[in-house]
């Protein structure tokens, strides 16, 4: 795994700490053992995920950092003097990825935290508050359905339904997968937090931007004001009636695809109205399918399955959209003589970043000669779980091309270091 090479690179750079070189090596090594047909695959609660943590552990131990595993089997790193500290600032993100995903989503935040510790160790910097770095497991919903699994388990928020969710490939439950790698399932099941949240002063997460704003604006990094919450239906089934495409007149049709299209265009119109009122909202129907066993060019389908994902920074806007969805479903079902069946709703509340931390990170941004810039986060992150558990939380985004959750994620290591410098400067600064 060449951990020693990365450590040696660091040791030879004692006077001129080369964060870029070390970070690049860590990303390359981890990509090499998690490579898939395209991009990387680091499934939640898998052996590859464990190997990633072990690799980071070996790297940190070689640097003289302290490493331990918490009851959720996440790796936690600190300077040796802070091993038993309370009132610490926690820096973290996740090491899992979506299938055939990019190498930077999640891992960038863990490496940024480790670079802060490595640099402090190297320069002899004394942060006013103890700092710990957490490399969390399962965050991506792609493997089991639920998202933010590790952070929810840490804070006692993982529900029974989520624990019963089957893995997309082997069908085994999330409970079984977590149990197999040694997570304390007795506490998880009883929703007893695995982390004493009183010990955590605040939480900071660096993440690649998943949209185009920073590239468009020519800025390497930004501080985040808040994280959109979401309401999701993985599957909505519209049931109609099959028929011959040439033989059934319009008045006699029960066409589920046109009913779905009608519903979506009604929601789209309402979306525009909500935006015009100045509220934050995005709406996506990312999966649409008629039954491939039966569908044909000349057949009115009997059913169509589709997904809906609403996101907003406002809990009220999400509630309005849920209400509106139900209303429109009743109208379309009546007018088009179809029936909609909805899978259970998956829901994550919006989360606001801590105003004091946003201010502190923006000030740190100026101190490292970057123009302070604050923006909202469109994607969800573990930081939302910490914030909603009452732990003051903040995020830093790093410029990245081509979105995320795909092998074409393109983050420059120099931009990651710019984002890391903001956090390092914040940790050194007047943290209360
Ligand atoms: Zn992520």
- Write the pLDDT tens digit of every residue in 344-397: 998 888 988 999 999 999 999 999 999 999 998 988 899 999 999 999 999 999
What secondary structure letter does DSSP report for 314? -
Distance 51 CA to ligand 1 centre (A): 19
* Dist CA 144 CA 41 (whole Å): 14
pLDDT at position 14, please? 45
pLDDT at position 5, please? 56
pLDDT at position 403, please? 87
Distance 94 CA to ligand 1 centre (A): 7
Report the percentage of the chain scoring pLDDT > 70. Answer: 96
pLDDT at position 3, please? 54
Nearest 10 degrees: CA dihedral of 407, 413, 419, 420? 110
Helix, strand, or coil (residue 133): strand
Distance 108 CA to ligand 1 centre (A): 9
Average pLDDT over the chain, rounded to an integer? 93
- Write the pLDDT tens digit of every residue in 213-247: 999 999 999 999 998 989 999 999 999 999 999 99
Note the pTM of the prediction, 2 decimals: 0.82
Among 307, 289, 308, 393, which Cα is nearest to 350's? 393
Distance 249 CA to ligand 1 centre (A): 49
- Write the pLDDT tens digit of every residue in 288-319: 999 999 999 999 999 999 999 999 989 999 99
Tokens of 370: 């970057």
Distance 106 CA to ligand 1 centre (A): 4
Over residues 1-18, mean pLDDT: 54
Helix, strand, or coil (residue 415): helix
Q: Fold identical between 3-228+350-428 and 230-345?
A: no
Distance 424 CA to ligand 1 centre (A): 21
CATH class of 230-345: alpha beta
Domain chopping of the chain, boundaries? 3-228+350-428, 230-345
pLDDT at position 405, please? 87
Q: What is the DSSP string of 363-407?
A: HHHHHTT----EEEESS--HHHHHHHTT--EEEEEE--BS-SSST
Superfamily for 3-228+350-428? Zn peptidases (3.40.630.10)
Report H helices in 2-45: 3-11, 19-34
> CA angle at residue 47 from 45 to 51, to 5 degrees?
110
């Amino acid at each position: 795994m060449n951990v020693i090479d990365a450590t040696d690179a660091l040791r030879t750079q004692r006077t001129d700490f080369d964060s870029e070189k070390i970070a690049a090596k860590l990303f390359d090594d981890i990509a090499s053992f998690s490579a898939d047909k395209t991009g990387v695959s680091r499934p939640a609660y898998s052996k590859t995920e464990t190997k990633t943590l072990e690799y980071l552990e070996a790297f940190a131990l070689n640097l003289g950092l302290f490493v331990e595993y918490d009851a959720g089997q996440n790796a936690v790193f600190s300077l040796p003097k802070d091993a038993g500290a309370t009132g610490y600032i926690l820096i973290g993100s996740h090491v899992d990825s979506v299938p055939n995903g990019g190498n930077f989503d999640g891992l960038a935040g863990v490496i940024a935290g480790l670079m802060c510790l490595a640099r402090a160790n190297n320069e002899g910097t004394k942060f006013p508050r103890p700092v710990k770095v957490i490399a969390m497991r399962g965050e991506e919903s792609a493997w089991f359905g639920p998202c933010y699994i590790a952070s929810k388990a840490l804070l006692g928020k993982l529900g029974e339904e989520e624990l019963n969710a089957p893995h997309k490939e082997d069908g085994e439950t999330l409970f079984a997968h977590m149990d197999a790698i040694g997570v304390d399932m007795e506490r998880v099941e009883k929703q007893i937090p695995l982390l004493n949240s009183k010990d955590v002063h605040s939480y900071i997460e660096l993440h690649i931007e998943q949209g185009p704003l920073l590239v468009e604006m020519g800025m390497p990094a930004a501080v985040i004001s808040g994280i959109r919450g979401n309401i999701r239906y993985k599957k909505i089934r519209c049931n109609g009636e099959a028929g011959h495409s040439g033989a059934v007149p319009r008045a006699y049709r029960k066409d589920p695809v046109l009913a779905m299209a009608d519903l979506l265009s009604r929601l789209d119109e309402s979306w525009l109205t909500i935006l015009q009122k100045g509220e934050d909202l995005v709406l996506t129907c990312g999966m649409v399918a008629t039954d491939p066993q039966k569908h044909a060019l000349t057949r009115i389908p009997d059913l169509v399955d589709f997904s809906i994902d609403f996101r907003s920074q406002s809990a009220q806007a999400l509630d309005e959209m849920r209400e509106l969805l139900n209303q429109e479903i009743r109208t379309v079902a009546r007018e088009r003589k179809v029936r909609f069946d909805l899978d259970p709703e998956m829901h994550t509340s919006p989360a606001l970043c801590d105003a004091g931390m946003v201010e502190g990170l923006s000030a740190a941004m100026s101190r490292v000669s970057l123009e302070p810039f604050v923006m909202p986060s469109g994607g969800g992150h573990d930081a939302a779980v910490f914030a909603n558990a009452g732990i003051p939380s903040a995020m830093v985004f790093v410029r990245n091309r081509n979105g995320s959750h795909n092998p074409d994620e393109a983050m420059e290591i120099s931009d990651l270091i710019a984002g890391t410098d903001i956090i390092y400067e914040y940790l050194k600064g007047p943290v209360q």
